[in-house]
Every structure is written in structure tokens, then in C-alpha cells.
């Protein structure tokens, strides 16, 4: 049975109150989701702030529910307040989406830092404890943003914290503190159009701040049992809405990509990463701690942003979004057709994104969840989607995601590519203006006509289809089977190319891994030219997480 929110007494702030707060906040963001999306103009008018806040809150609530457990936990000790708030904050951290969701995750971490510890001296009573939590939340959120801007949800958080402290100083209960914070947040939200010019021009309040008001309203309701009054639709101000021909609103500046990933790294490494990403782009927010971080940045070079994360530690759950697609979605436009590509390398992800595809970046040995693929289909925001699955092990997840997307009214075709080079071949013939069926057939044919090879290093002695290999040997695979065992990368690659071109070919595609020098590509290009004058060769950098060498022959 789902948890039914039960308002708590005004003088009680415990784990159950936190669960009620989370449930009410999720419901409030769900109701406001589309309206908040509609007023999203800062930092990027991509119409996803409401969605990002909702998905972040949903991840947080799911983690909190797991902390409480199911009916089997009935005989165990009840969940404590520290357990509840830490689980809630961790769920927000790992599921944070976008700029607003990342800031919300840091706000919840600040709350958890205080509510998960004993009250400080001089802050007795639940009112003082909660006020301190709201203050810490605002402080940590400001610290997480590389260049804080007033007129945003940071401003709303700061105003709420100051009002909460004032209510606490007047001996207010936790409910009094929550009410003061909520009222101050609403007042601060109403002032945001006068603080940020882009909001004033659009005639809207800050979208992230609008979501934070909903979260604080849920806190007050959880502690008092009183439902907040309905807010004005979408939080619009009296200012005029932007005209479609307004040059101030049509000019789209800023980086082209949003990059988000989780990162396992030390605080020292993250400090260096912040400086590196700040040079690469803007809207930089890094939240978390204790070895786990959520990194969000807007850049023109997504590969460089991911590579910086690789230098700092271990990035995963990497999401790269092209703002062209998001801005189109923000204008309410749905493309007729889009391509979603699963790729094993940030360089390939950038290459596919430049070609117009929505990408899902995977690490070696990891299979993206169905939810990740479905999310990518939704982000593509098209009536028709061609999904390039990227490997045999991904087909089940791709098929399930496609089935769920079809239930939402999206026409989806899955092209079962087995290698990234087949995906590149399919993307090269993609015709968004032709009929869907003809496009899928042409892309499938291009992928099927591309033989794929891969070079890898043997990790231990084993039997292969080409004989016994030793640890450290170079394995040359053709269409998934080991065909050549060699001692060096370049000479093994030449042997693989000779076998693959033995049955003909017009174009060779080489995708180099991050540690392969450019000289290898030059040597292989010369080798192809010497034996096959009519065959062209193109070379790409796969970037972090790609195989040492991928080969495609069309």
C-alpha cells in the first residue's frame, strides 16, 4: 500500500513527518509540473524545470520509501530521523536532473546535514532545529553554484531561511518556522522578475523558485495539516508575455549542450574539476560530498566535460542533451522524427549529437536501464523515433523502452545495431524528411551492410576461436568473433583490416580509443591505401569509455 500523508503535530519533527513532507512535495510538483515547464526561461528556455524538479523529487521519495522498507520491517526498529533525511537526500543526489533538480538535491543535503545530527547548543526545540536546517540548505546551495545569480531559486531559498530563523528566535514551533519560510518564499518569488531581466521580459517568475515554493508549502502542510492556498497559474506576473517576434526572446545564446553525470571522486579532485568545468562552460553546479557528486554544466564541448570527469574520478550515468532539441520542446514544437543512439564513448556521443541524435552514453560492461532509454526517447520529443540499440546485450532493454514509448503515442522502430560503427553508418543515411518506413529500411540496410571489427586486450589466458591467447595479447574481433591474436595493436589491426576488406568494401571507419596515438590511425590509413586504392578511410576519436579501436567496413 502506498504511504498516505498524515500531518504531524506542530511540535513534532520526526521520520514520519519527513516521509509526509516528501510525499506531499512530490504530489505538489506533479500538479505544478507542466505549469512550471511553461514559464522556464532561465538559465535556458528549454521547458524542463518542472519536469526536472519532479523527477528529482521522485528519486528522493523512492529512496526514502526504501529506507522505511515494506511490511516485513514491521517488527524491526522504526526508521529514525537521521536515516530518513539521509536516504531522502541521497535519492535526490543520484536522481538529480537539470540545473534546478541539482540545486534541489543540494538543498535537501543541507537539510539532512542538520536534521541528521543532534541540535546545536542554543537551538533547542524542533523549531530551532528546522530553522537551522533551512539555513544550512540555502548556504550549501549557494556554495554549490559556481556563479550564483539573484532572482532564482537560490534567492527564494535564502529568503525562506531568514524567515525561518526569525520565527525560531520568537520561540516558534516547527510548524511556525515552516509557515514563515513558506510565506517568505512566496514573497521572494514574486520579486524575482524585478531581479532578473530575462524574467521581467517574459512576464514570469523564476521557474525553479516556483518549484521550491511548492516544496516549502508541502513542509508547512506536513507539520500543520493545513493545505496551502492555490498559487496563480504557472506563477505568471502581471507583466506581458513575450511576443513570438520579440528579438529579445528569439535570440538564443549560450552553450549548445547540457552535461550531467554522477562522479565518484575526492573533494580535492572535485575542486580541480570545478575550475576546469568553469573554464569550459556555464551554469556549473556540483553537489554532493563524501566521495559521491552530481555534476551539471552547460558546454559547447561535451566530450571535454566528460573527459574532465574521467581525470577527476569515475563518472557514470552520463547524460548529454542538445539544447536545440530542448528549446524546440520549450516552444511546444514536436519534431516529426528523431534518432536516439546508444554509444560507448563520449567522443562518439558528441559526434552523434552533432548529427542531430539524442544520445545515451554507456560504459564498457554496463547496460543502460530501460528507464534511461525511455527517457532519451522522451527527450527526443518527436512523433517518430529510430532507436539505435548499440549492441546485442542492449536489445531487450531497447525493445521494452520502445514498447513503453509506443504506449505513450510515439512511433518507435529499433534498429538492432551490434557496434557503434554500424550506428554511424545508419545515421549517415538517415533522412528525416522521407517516409518513416523507408528511412528505417535504409538505416537498417546501411547498418547491416557494415562489417564491424574491434580490437581489445586479453585480460587472462583463454581459448578463442583463433586459438589460445595469453594475458596482454591483442585480440582482433570480426563481427563479434576473435579472428586474429597479435602482440601489437597496429599490426593486429592491419591483419583485421586485410580480412575484412578481402570481401570488398568502399569505406573504412576507424574509431580510436582514448589511449591510442594518432600515429596508429595514420599507419592504418596508409595500409588501406596501399592495398585498396579505391577505398576511403575516415577516422574519429571515441573518447573515454570507447574500445581501443573500432573498425567498420561498408
Tell me the per-residue pLDDT of 39-88, one tens digit each, with 9 for 90 and over.
988 888 777 889 899 989 999 999 999 888 743 444 445 678 999 999 99
Task: Give yes or no: residues 102 and 199 share one domain.
Answer: yes
**Which DSSP string corresponds to 521-540?**
HHHHHHHHHHH-TT-EEEEE
Helices (H) and strands (E) in the chain, counts: 20, 16
- Answer yes or no: is 4 within a domain: no
On whether both 122 and 149 belong to a single domain, the answer is yes
Q: What is the CA radius of gyration of the chain?
A: 26
Considering the domain architecture, whether residues 273 and 404 belong to the same structural domain is answered as: no
The confidence score (pLDDT) of residue 123 equals 58
pLDDT band at 356 (very low <50, low <70, confident <90, very high): confident
- Say which residues have a Cβ less than 8 Å from residue 290's Cβ, sequence separation at least 6: none
Q: Is residue 304 part of a domain?
A: yes
Least confident of 60-69, 86-95, 472-481, 540-549: 540-549
- In this structure, the chain runs to a length of 554
DSSP state, 204? B
- Do 261 and 189 have their domain in common? no
* pLDDT for 184: 96
Domain hosting 385: range is 334-449
Contacts of 80 (CB under 8 A, 6+ apart): 15
Band of the pLDDT at 148, cuts 50, 70, 90?
very high
| Cell numbers representing residue 117 in the block | 545530527
Residue 362 is predicted with a pLDDT of 78
> Residue 449's CB: how many other CB atoms inside 10 A?
14
Q: What is the pLDDT at residue 117?
A: 85
Q: Domain check: are 60 and 204 in the same one?
A: yes
Check pLDDT > 70 for residue 139: yes
pLDDT per position as a tens digit, 217-270: 999 999 998 888 766 544 444 344 443 333 333 334 678 888 999 999 999 999
Please state which of the ranges 6-20, 94-108, 129-143, 319-333 shows the lowest mean pLDDT: 319-333
Q: Which of 333, 358, 388 is the last residue of a domain?
A: 333
Q: In the prediction, which pLDDT does 78 show?
A: 63
Query: Looking at the domain assignment, is residue 315 inside a domain?
Result: yes
- Would you place residue 8 in the very low, low, confident or very high pLDDT band (cuts 50, 70, 90)? very low
Count of domains for the chain: 4
Residue 475 lies in a domain: yes
Q: Read off the pTM.
A: 0.67
For the cut 50, the answer to whether the pLDDT of residue 284 exceeds it is yes
In DSSP notation, 438-486 reads HHHHHHHHHHHT-EEEEEEE-SS-EEETTEEE-TTPEEEEETTEEEEEE
Grid cell listed for 457:
586486450
* CATH number, position 364: 3.40.50.510
Domain boundary (333, 359, 388) is at 333
pLDDT of residue 335: 73
Asked if 336 and 431 count as a contact pair (C-beta separation under 8 A), the reply is no
- The domain boundary residue, chosen from 217, 243, 269: 243
pLDDT for 15 beyond 60: yes
Which of 384 and 76 is assigned the larger pLDDT? 384
* 301 and 226 in a common domain: no
Let me know if residue 41 belongs to a domain: yes
Q: Say if residue 407 is in the same domain as residue 272.
A: no
Q: Please indicate, yes or no, whether residues 56 and 205 belong to a single structural domain of this protein.
A: yes
CATH of the domain at 80: 1.25.40.340
Whether residue 146 sits in one domain with residue 40: yes
Amino acid at each position: 500500500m502506498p504511504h498516505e500523508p498524515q500531518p504531524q503535530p506542530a511540535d513534532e519533527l520526526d521520520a514520519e513527518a519527513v516521509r509526509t513532507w516528501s510525499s506531499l512535495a512530490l504530489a505538489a510538483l506533479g500538479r505544478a509540473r507542466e505549469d512550471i515547464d511553461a514559464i522556464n526561461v532561465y538559465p535556458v528556455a528549454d521547458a524542463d524545470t518542472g519536469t526536472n524538479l519532479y523527477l528529482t523529487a521522485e528519486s528522493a521519495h523512492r529512496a526514502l520509501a526504501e529506507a522505511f522498507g515494506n511490511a516485513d520491517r514491521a517488527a524491526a526498529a522504526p526508521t529514525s530521523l537521521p536515516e530518513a533525511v539521509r536516504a531522502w537526500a541521497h535519492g535526490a543526489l543520484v536522481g538529480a536532473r537539470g540545473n534546478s533538480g541539482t540545486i534541489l538535491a543540494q538543498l535537501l543535503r543541507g537539510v539532512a546535514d542538520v536534521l541528521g545530527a543532534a541540535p546545536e547548543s542554543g537551538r533547542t526545540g524542533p523549531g530551532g532545529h528546522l530553522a537551522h536546517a533551512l539555513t544550512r540548505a540555502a548556504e550549501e546551495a549557494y556554495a554549490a553554484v559556481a556563479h550564483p545569480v539573484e532572482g532564482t531559486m537560490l534567492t527564494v531559498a535564502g529568503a525562506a531561511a531568514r524567515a525561518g530563523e526569525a520565527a525560531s528566535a520568537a520561540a516558534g514551533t516547527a510548524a511556525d518556522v515552516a509557515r514563515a519560510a513558506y510565506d517568505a518564499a512566496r514573497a521572494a518569488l514574486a520579486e524575482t522578475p524585478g531581479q532578473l531581466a530575462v524574467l521581467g521580459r517574459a512576464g514570469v517568475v523564476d521557474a525553479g523558485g516556483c518549484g521550491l515554493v511548492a516544496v516549502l508549502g508541502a513542509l508547512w502542510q506536513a507539520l500543520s495539516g493545513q493545505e496551502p492556498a492555490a498559487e496563480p497559474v504557472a506563477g505568471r506576473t502581471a507583466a506581458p508575455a513575450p511576443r513570438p517576434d520579440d528579438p529579445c526572446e528569439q535570440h538564443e545564446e549560450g552553450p549548445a549542450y547540457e552535461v550531467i553525470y554522477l562522479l565518484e571522486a575526492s573533494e580535492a579532485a572535485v575542486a580541480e574539476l570545478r575550475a576546469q568545468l568553469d573554464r569550459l562552460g556555464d551554469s556549473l553546479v556540483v553537489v554532493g560530498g563524501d566521495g559521491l557528486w552530481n555534476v551539471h554544466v552547460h558546454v559547447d564541448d561535451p566530450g571535454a566535460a566528460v573527459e574532465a570527469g574521467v581525470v577527476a574520478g569515475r563518472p557514470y550515468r552520463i547524460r548529454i542533451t542538445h539544447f536545440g532539441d530542448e528549446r524546440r520542446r520549450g516552444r511546444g514544437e514536436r519534431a516529426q522524427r528523431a534518432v536516439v543512439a546508444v554509444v560507448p564513448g563520449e567522443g562518439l556521443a558528441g559526434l552523434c549529437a552533432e548529427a542531430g541524435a539524442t544520445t545515451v552514453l554507456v560504459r564498457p560492461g554496463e547496460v543502460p536501464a530501460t528507464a534511461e532509454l525511455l527517457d532519451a526517447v522522451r527527450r527526443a520529443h518527436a512523433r517518430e523515433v529510430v532507436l539505435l540499440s548499440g549492441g546485442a546485450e542492449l536489445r531487450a532493454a531497447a525493445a521494452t523502452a520502445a514498447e513503453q514509448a509506443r504506449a505513450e503515442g510515439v512511433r518507435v522502430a529499433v534498429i538492432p545495431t551490434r557496434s557503434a560503427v554500424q550506428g554511424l553508418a545508419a545515421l549517415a543515411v538517415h533522412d528525416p524528411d522521407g517516409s518513416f518506413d523507408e528511412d528505417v529500411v535504409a538505416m537498417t540496410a546501411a547498418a547491416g551492410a557494415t562489417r564491424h571489427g574491434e580490437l581489445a586486450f586479453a585480460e587472462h589466458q583463454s581459448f578463442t576461436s583463433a586459438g589460445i591467447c595469453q594475458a596482454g595479447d591483442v585480440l582482433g574481433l570480426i563481427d563479434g568473433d576473435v579472428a586474429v591474436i597479435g602482440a601489437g595493436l597496429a599490426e593486429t589491426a592491419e591483419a583485421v583490416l586485410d580480412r575484412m576488406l578481402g570481401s570488398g568494401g568502399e569505406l573504412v571507419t576507424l574509431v580510436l580509443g582514448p589511449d591510442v596515438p594518432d600515429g596508429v590511425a595514420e599507419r592504418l590509413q596508409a595500409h588501406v591505401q596501399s592495398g585498396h586504392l579505391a577505398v576511403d578511410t575516415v577516422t574519429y576519436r571515441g573518447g573515454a569509455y570507447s574500445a581501443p579501436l573500432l573498425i567498420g567496413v561498408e
